[in-house]
Amino acid sequence: MGNGKFAKEFAKGIILANPVFVLALGLCPTLAISTSIDNALGMTLAVLIVLLGSNIIIALIRNFVPNITRIPIFIVIIATLVTVVNLIFHAYLPATYEALGIFLPLIVVNCIILGRAEAFASKNPVASSIADALGITVGFMLALLMISFIRQVLGTGGLSVFGHDLFTLPGLRDHPIAIFILPYGAFLVIGLLMGLFRRTGVMKNE
């Protein structure tokens, strides 16, 4: 496979098929953990490991899996990878493990992972499946970072990443707009962002 095709599969996931804003997949974790940049990065790392692993394994075995039992097989592969990620996070990133809570094991039922396995990795060779996994993860990361950035800055009045204070907004620091850090703020931010993307033509109207 040439570089051109690899780049194409990679770029597709970032804008045209952005999993969150365009396909509206994986909404549960996106909304739930986008309260801080730390959580967004932790979630991205977990999704990267699981998606990359499942896309590679499924692309490798795609010719041996009987069509009728493919979904249960994919689910077991994904569940095993999620268990591994869960144990790794518990051991090496305990703070992130606590912050992500049940959304770390819930990656099993994240439609992005099974969706890519079914729609892409089960029909394509390993190299393009890797490109697909990386592109989709970058698209997921950008969406998460965008939402988390807005929520964290408006909801806490500043930005700190892994304990380093990057900046604070003096007025907001004392009186942050708490709704953005609460669950309802997540719905508000993603709704407004989607509307904005459609208005500016980045995304198509319905």
Point out which residues bind another protein (CB under 8 A): 24-25, 27-29, 31-32, 72, 75-76, 79-80, 82-83, 86-87, 101-102, 105-106, 108-111, 114, 179, 183-188, 190-192, 194-196, 198-199, 205-206
User: Min. distance of Cβ 2 from another protein in angstroms?
Assistant: 35
User: Min. distance of Cβ 144 from another protein in angstroms?
Assistant: 13
Q: How far is CA 95 from CA 28, 39, 45, in A?
A: 21, 10, 14
* CB burial of residue 75 (10 Å; 0-12, 13-18, 19+): middle
What six digits make up the tokens of 22? 């365009």
User: Min. distance of Cβ 82 from another protein in angstroms?
Assistant: 6
Q: How far is CA 152 from CA 22, 108, 172, in A?
A: 23, 27, 11
User: Min. distance of Cβ 89 from another protein in angstroms?
Assistant: 13
- Show the CA angle centred on residue 74, arms to residues 111 and 116, nearest 5°: 40
Short-list 140, 118, 141, 143, CA closest to 129: 118
**Residue 76 CB neighbour total at 10 angstroms:** 11
User: Min. distance of Cβ 195 from another protein in angstroms?
Assistant: 4
